[in-house]
Amino acid sequence: MDSEVGWNLDNSYSRLPEVFFGEATPAKAVSPRVILLNEDLAVLLGLQVEMLSQEVLSGNELPEGATPIAQAYAGHQFGYFTMLGDGRAILLGEQLTPSWNRVDIGLKGSGPTAFSRGGDGLAALGPMLREYIISEAMYALGIPTSRSLSVTLTGNDVIRETILSGAVLIRTASSYLRVGTFQYAAARQEPEDLKKLADYAIERHYPEILSEDNRYERFLGKVIERQAALIAKWQLVGFIHGVMNTDNMTISGETIDYGPCAFMDVYDPATVFSSIDKYGRYKYGNQPGIASWNLARLAETLLPLLDDSQETAIQIAEKQLANFGLNFEREWLNGMRAKLGLLDEQSGDEALGKELLILMKEAKADFTNTFRALSDECVEQPKWFSEDAFCEWKKKWEARREQQTATNEESYEVMRLSNPSVIPRNHRVEEAIEAAEHGDFGVLYELNRVLESPYAYSAEQAPYTAPTNSSLPYRTYCGT
């Protein structure tokens, strides 16, 4: 039966030394009910949608070939180092897709593991819906991310401040190897285990460098490149992760962990959404710097592999780390050019983009809608576009566009493909979650449908483009 469903699981991570994981058993769901199933993702995974049972999607039954484990890792959480591990996530295995991609697939909210640290390992419906909504929206936006296959009500109560409905999320990623996984290996001071982990990560994500003599230096450089590109993409759509701890930074360059995350409405680099980020460590404007700091922690773990001489190893690491800023600035500037419809390169482009951001901050302008209005003159133009400062900027922008060989229509087309018309607005996400918690899933389904095509600029998207009318600061929570 499982072969008919399409499960094709391997367990290469489980072949690493046993210190990197612990065996795990999903908790039983009393009365499972699937409320979200990502049919498009299921097809990509090679699964037969109509044959996926709620028993498997809830964790009550394991698909053939599954070896459920919880991964061990460490992390700097708000700057403080801690030994951690998956406290409420269970990796079932790696699905080998019809295109022979290897994809981690596992349960979240499926009960305690060896790393739960006294927690119940369960998840409430709200946080699992949030991860589904935001991760799939990020995928549609073209940002590297984990993805969500399903959300299933378990029928179990979850006790937080109140009693909440329990739910299980099935999520996927090219892997959940993290900076924190390497910190865990380094903290144990077993050089051979560290080397095995590094070779595994290289073979899995950067096989083109596996045979190179300096593969560990190249590995560090590759991770730095991918993370620089990822953070630039975050910045360009106004996304704020909220918990950029080292255990939430992947080796693959994908976004993971959608707890206290959100998209900005009003542009302000000081924006913070996470209820636990009291000092703004992970505010929007700090994200590039924090990513660089996290990558320095990765480099520290790799020093024994970079060279036998620690002094030389540090020099190698510093050389690679210096590239983060250059890579980020290049990726951000290329992305900003696209958002402004600039199809060639000129020296003043960075200043032009940053001048607009300054004006947006002064005007308390909506981040997404500003670029949406620039991309489509048919949509309602913000009132602040009539102010003298913006009019002066617009003259410079239009003069810059006239200097390129691309036509106006070609320029606008690039802009519309680079500036989303809709994002998962915070009040819309909360509206969908609240309705679902009261048994109405229609609001959730409609929101997900609209977010599937963020660059469509369609009339039906208009109601989803309005920012909140609340003056209260928005706060998000980790859900544990």
Residues 6+ apart with CB under 8 A from 392: none
Tokens standing for 281? 């460590």
Catalytic residue status for 247: yes
Nearest to 45 by CA among 160, 140, 170, 153: 170
Question: Distance of CA 479 to CAs 21, 121, 160, 432, 450, Å?
Answer: 23, 11, 8, 17, 25
Tokens standing for 327? 């890579």
Among 247, 257, 265, 366, the active-site one is 247
Query: What is the rounded CA–CA span in Å between residue 150 and residue 397?
Result: 44
Q: Please say whether the beta carbons of 21 and 13 come within 8 A.
A: yes
Largest distance between two CA atoms of the chain: 68
Long-range CB contact pairs, 275-281, < 8 A, 24+: 275/475, 275/476, 275/477, 276/78, 276/243, 276/477, 276/478, 277/78, 277/242, 277/243, 281/78, 281/79, 281/244
Beta bridge partners of 34: 152
Tokens standing for 94? 């790696």
Residues belonging to the active site:
247
